[in-house]
Amino acid sequence: MTRPASDLDGFRLWPGLLDRAAQEALRDEVFARMRAGPLYIPRMPKSGQPMRVRMTNFGPLGWVTDKERGYRYQPTHPETGKPWPDMPPQALALWRELSGYGAEPEACLVNLYEGDARMGLHVDSDEEAWDAPVLSISLGDTAIFRIGGALRSDPTRSVRLASGDVCLLGGAARRAYHGVDRILPGTSRLLPKGGRINLTLRRVTVPG
């Protein structure tokens, strides 16, 4: 197994784990699936305020949010009503190699950051399988990622996530507040229109 470059409280980062060819192959698998499961604008519960990122999902379950029903996982795309496309094989292989978890991921959330899109501090907490880590794969422009502790008021640190970087939120970091402050435009040529795609793989239900 690949040795992580850093390991602090369950946050692991493998910088440049995917070389350019691997990034292009994964990008193409993602774009192909977006034809069947297009990006949509997620909306915050209650307020209905649009999020800054556009989203879709791959795999048996997908994370969605809208004004009426809020945050949840569901097996179908909210706009097409069809099942989500399957997970890119490379993403599944990374989960098997790096997660240390004895069951398959069920959701691959796709976030597209364009322009000044960012994501506020939050904890991923809609999964029943709390013992499973979240595996994150970055493609395209570099993100200024922020991660803190279990309380919103805990100190945070900033980590650059570049194209091809893979990171894992496990252990204490699984319950840590995290978000994306901003994207650095022009730092990668992987995506034809620029911006950043982040894939996060999650186990949702308790296995067995």
Query: Which does residue 190 bind out of Fe ion, ligand SIN, none, counting CB within 5 to 8 angstroms by kind?
Result: none
To 5 degrees, how large is the angle CA 27–CA 30–CA 31? Answer: 85
State in angstroms the smallest separation of the CB of 208 from ligand SIN. 26
CA-based nearest residue to 109, from 193, 190, 30:
30
> What distance in Å separates the CA atoms of residue 29 and residue 34, rounded to the nearest whole number?
9
Contacted by 163, from ligand SIN, Fe ion, none: CB < 5 to 8 Å by type? none
Nearer to ligand SIN, 70 or 81 (CB): 70
Chain residues binding Fe ion by CB under 5 A are 124
Residue nearest ligand SIN by beta-carbon distance: 198
Tokens of 128: 């029943």
CB of 86 or CB of 124, closer to Fe ion: 124
CA distance 57 to 37: 7
Q: How many CB atoms lie within 10 A of CB 148?
A: 18
Q: Which is nearer to ligand SIN, 25 or 144 (CB)?
A: 144
Residues 165-204 that bind ligand SIN (CB under 6 A): 178, 180, 198, 200
* Chosen residue from 13, 64, 117, 119 binding ligand SIN by CB under 6 A: 119
Using the 8-state DSSP alphabet, how is residue 80 labeled? T
* AA letter at 30: V
Least Cβ distance, residue 60 to ligand SIN (angstroms): 18
Residue 48: is it exposed, middle or buried by C-beta count within 10 angstroms (0-12/13-18/19+)? exposed
> In the stretch 129-168, what mask flags binding to ligand SIN with x, by CB under 6 A?
-------x------x-x---------------x-------
3-state secondary structure of 161: strand
State the residues that interact with ligand SIN by CB under 6 A. 111, 119, 136, 143, 145, 161, 178, 180, 198, 200
